[in-house]
Amino acid sequence: MTSNDHGPPEHPGATAAASLAAGAAAGFNLPALRGHNAALVLGLLRAAGEEGVSRLELAARTALTPQAVSKITARLRAEGLAVEAGRRASTGGKPATLLRLVPGARHAIGIHLDRDEAVLVLADLAGAPVAVRRAPLDLTAGAGPVLTAVAREVAAVRAEADAPGVLGAGVACPGPLDHTTGVLRRVTGAPGWDGFPLRDALAARLDLPVVVDKDTNAAALALAHGPGRPGSFAYLHLGTGLGAGLVLDGALYRGPRTGAGEFGHQVVWWDGPRCACGRRGCVEALCLAALARDDLPGAARALGVGAANLVELLDIDRILLGGRTVATHPDVFLRGVTEELTDRAAARGSARPSVAVVPADGPGTVAQGAAQLILGPLFGASSGSAAVPQRGVVSEESEVRAMTALP
């Protein structure tokens, strides 16, 4: 690629992508919603599941007036996003009518671009996969072939499910990159992508809003939206490379320049093997060198050294291990990382580590997290937050004025 490849003309999809990214960061003025308060209500409807939730409960949890909640839910029902879910048994007075989300009313596409494979998920509003596709991919082939392949697979997954209302596409790929602008940096092993505006270029191809993030961040986001409280954890992904996604106090941490999580390039052996990044002794280089000589315990131990450094630096609750290499040999990596954490704990006088080490993901986790980059802001959470905000911040009158058409 040359510098001339890095500036596609502005396109409506690219403009929408920029607006969506900005809205995700701020939590307001999301183009696919009728205001912040509607997003809060949608988020609570999603959290309630099939059981549903009453309008009075929605008002209590958002601090909105019952009148405002009634207007919002009426509009959501008119758009097919919410339906009645029956009535709750009365404890005196009129039985409460329950409402629930309609997951199939809208969809988002999650795209995981690995160095040798593309995985696509079409997810409904609840985040459940409706269709999944996998296809070979050569990330080093450059922008033209990769964008063409992605556009082809997106068309195929949409045709396969025939799902209505696709809101946008979240793209997860190897870093480093700038999440805010959707511009890739010098991707390890594929330096030709440096400076390429993937978000805008892909939005123009797909005619959809696009949000771009690192694969490890997307996986961490998917895991943070899983059952239970997310707390603070590190997701370590070992596949064709090594990276981390960090969730601190329930929110994905990207850093002020969105560059956090380059875990694989911490140097732990100053004159160790040469890494693809140009330095020596990176954890990634040690892991991949051990794997190349079929030394799985050595790779696991190297990963454990990096994980222990992370635990001591951030005081996190859990280490979650994922990626194709870990998925193929989970016991070896769980044991190796746990042993290193145990050794560190013993050096501090503790009999056992206080940090749990668990396998994290199944097939498609990164792509499902990429879909959350689109879905998260629609439910009142930023694309980096696992929690749904619980308080309305706009008056009833402002809420009505803020309403604009859903796609």
Q: Please give the share of the chain, as a percent, with pLDDT higher than 70.
A: 82
pLDDT(398) > 50: no
Q: What is the pLDDT of residue 350?
A: 77
Q: How far does the chain reach from its first CA to its final CA, in angstroms? A: 35
Place of tokens 């454990």: 304
pLDDT-derived band at 161 (thresholds 50, 70, 90) equals: confident
CB 73, CB 99: distance < 8 Å = yes
What is the model's pLDDT at position 303? 97
Segment 271-314, tens digit of pLDDT: 999 998 889 999 999 999 999 999 999 999 999 999 999 999 99
Question: For residue 403, is pLDDT > 80?
Answer: no
Of 363, 355, 341, 21, nearest in space to 170 by CA: 21
Tell me the C-alpha distance between 355 and 359, whole Å. Answer: 13
Is 376 a residue whose pLDDT tops 70? yes
DSSP letters, 17-61, are HHHHHHHHHHSS--TTSS-HHHHHHHHHHHHHGGG-EEHHHHHHH
- C-alpha to C-alpha distance for 10 and 209, rounded to whole angstroms: 13
Structure letter (DSSP) for residue 250: T
Kindly state the greatest CA–CA separation across the chain: 76
Q: Which residues contact 140 (CB under 8 A, 6 or more apart)?
A: 115, 189, 190, 192
Beta carbons within 8 Å of 117's beta carbon, 6+ residues apart? 134, 135, 136, 137
SS3 of 192-219: the string is: HHCCCEHHHHHHHHHCCCEEEEEHHHHH
Phi then psi for 185, rounded to 5 degrees?
Answer: -105, -155
